Amino acid sequence: MKLFLKLVISLVIVAMLVGAYYLFLRPNEDGSTGVMSERQTKILAFLGDPAGHADWMLPAGTVCGDAPFQVPTDGYIGFVWDDSFSPGHHHTGLDIFGGEQPGLTPVYAAHDGYLTRETGWKSTLIIRIPSDPLQPGRQIWTYYTHMADRLGNDTIVDAFPQGTGEVFVEAGTLLGYQGNYSGDPLNPVGVHLHFSIVKDDGSGRFLDEREIANTLDPSPYFGMALNAHDNPSEVPLCPVQP
């Protein structure tokens, strides 16, 4: 009888651990963990049937009203600025999912600026904008990443090899293609572009994009609600003009 009770207790503990994993420790798109949110559920629905959710997508080059930035790639904006996947985590930009395999969905510059791709950047570019269109005289940077396959083979166009510095590009310039590079070939992210707007450090360099305090809410730059406070779960689209 005691052996049977021990077995039952052990099975209950295992069941509780498995349940906790699926409720609280399930890996998120970015590798963090947390309870599946409504936004994550929508991303899974989109990735399972992109054609069936075509109305959630924005075409590359879309400009909402008189916003200064154009949408940099075709896709569904699944995660927005300041989304939180786990305690203490704050998403620093936008994740735009094209619904295709790596290397197929084009990525374009959202605004004129000076492009840099530092040595060692397998999937990343950053573009310096000398004068913020919303605060003239303030320098900002636009950051583009995940432009490589899971093995780190980049999907950035040949014009911008590693070591590129301060090359002027116009809005709409082809930069590369969406990828799923995470740094770990065994744990790739979903195919998408991560885009963020990064503050200048005051000395002509960009701050660390991984800290939300170093980034800006992209909503006014794109003319739609793109932060988790103003848009906790809705599909981001251009506002309907009256």
pLDDT(18) > 50 = no
Mean pLDDT of 198-217: 97
| Gap between the Cα atoms of 71 and 221, Å rounded | 10
pLDDT in tens, 117-163: 999 999 999 999 999 999 999 999 999 999 999 999 999 999 999 99
Neighbours of 219 (CB within 10 A): 18
Q: Identify whether 206 is part of a domain.
A: yes
Closest to 198 measured CA to CA, from 123, 113, 119: 113
Q: Report the Cα 42 to chain-centroid distance in Å.
A: 15
Task: Quick: pLDDT tens for 29-52.
Answer: 334 444 568 888 999 999 999 999
pLDDT in the model for residue 3 = 58
How does the average pLDDT of the chain come out, rounded? Answer: 88
Would you say residue 172 lies in a domain? yes
Q: How far apart are CA 166 and CA 164, in angstroms?
A: 7
Q: Is the pLDDT of residue 84 over 90?
A: no
Is position 235 within any domain? no
The domain total for the chain is 1
In this predicted structure, what is the pLDDT of residue 85?
73
For 112, counting Cβ atoms within 10 Å of its Cβ (0-12 exposed, 13-18 middle, 19+ buried), the class is: middle
Burial grade of 37 (CB within 10 A; 0-12, 13-18, 19 or more): middle
Residue 96 pLDDT grade (very low, low, confident, very high; cuts 50, 70, 90) = very high
**What average pLDDT score do residues 184-191 get?**
94
Please determine, for residue 179, whether its predicted confidence score (pLDDT) is greater than 70.
yes
CATH number of the domain within which 176 lies? 2.70.70.10
**What's the gap between Cα 209 and its chain centre?**
12
Positions of E strands within the chain: 76-79, 94-97, 106-108, 113-117, 125-129, 140-145, 164-169, 174-177, 193-199
pLDDT classification of 87: cutoffs 50, 70, 90: confident
- Kindly state whether residue 230 falls inside one of the protein's structural domains: no
* Residue 241 CB contacts under 8 Å (≥ 6 apart), including other chains: 65
- Residue linked to tokens 């303030």: 138
How many DSSP H helices and E strands does the chain contain?
Answer: 3, 9
pLDDT at 194 over 90: yes
Radius of gyration of the chain (CA): 20
pLDDT of 207 over the 50 cut: yes
Q: Is residue 176 included in any domain, yes or no?
A: yes
- Highest-pLDDT range among 7-21, 84-98, 178-192: 178-192
Cα(96)–Cα(194) distance, integer angstroms: 7
Residue 73 has pLDDT above 60, yes or no: yes
Residue 23 domain flag: no
pTM of the prediction?
0.85
Would 20 be classed as within a structural domain?
A: no
Q: Which carries the bigger pLDDT value, residue 9 or residue 167?
A: 167
What range does the domain containing 169 cover?
37-222
Position 134 in a domain? yes
Q: Which residues of 60-87 are buried (b: 16+ CB within 10 A; e: fewer)?
A: bebebeebbbbbbbbbbbbbbbbbebee
- pLDDT, average across residues 60-77: 98
Whole-angstrom distance, CA of residue 22 vs CA of residue 185: 23
- Residue 105 scores a pLDDT above 80: yes
Label residue 100 exposed, middle or buried (CB < 10 Å: 0-12, 13-18, 19+): middle
